Amino acid sequence: MAKVANTQEYFDTLAERFVADQAKGVSATLQYTLTGEGGGEWVVTIEDGQFKGVEKGGVDKPSLNIMMDAGKFIEMANGDLDGRKAFLTRKLKVKGNIALAQKMQKFFPQG
């Protein structure tokens, strides 16, 4: 998978990165709350294992909220920062369905 330069490029190419066979049975609303330069809020919708889209903005009750610095997020998306390590060192904060966060690595693989 090609590396991305910034958050907008990541979300613009997310449909291409999605591995549908790894998301079977998943229906979720994923909120990304990214701070710092290049930050913002994005919502990704998956319905019954299908990628339905990404929109800028937030929702009231996401299945999962991924919160981190936008620069660190890009490092993680590109495979330069391990997601588990980021979580353990509090660079990545997750609110909601933790099991879903772990499964996301399979249907939205790093770098």
In the predicted structure, residue 1 carries a pLDDT above the cut 70: no
pLDDT digits (tens, 9 = 90+) for 31-53: 999 999 999 999 999 999 999 99
Cα separation, 66 vs 31, in Å, equals 6
State whether residue 77 is helix, strand or coil: helix
- Provide the 3-class DSSP secondary structure of residue 64: strand
Report percent pLDDT > 90 for the chain.
90
The domain containing residue 37 runs over which residues? 7-105
Which of 110, 111, 109, 102 has its CA nearest to residue 28?
102
The helix (run of H) or strand (run of E) holding residue 50 is: strand 50-56
Q: Give the pTM.
A: 0.93
Number of domains in the chain: 1
Residue 2 forms part of a structural domain: no
Residue 111 belongs to a domain: no
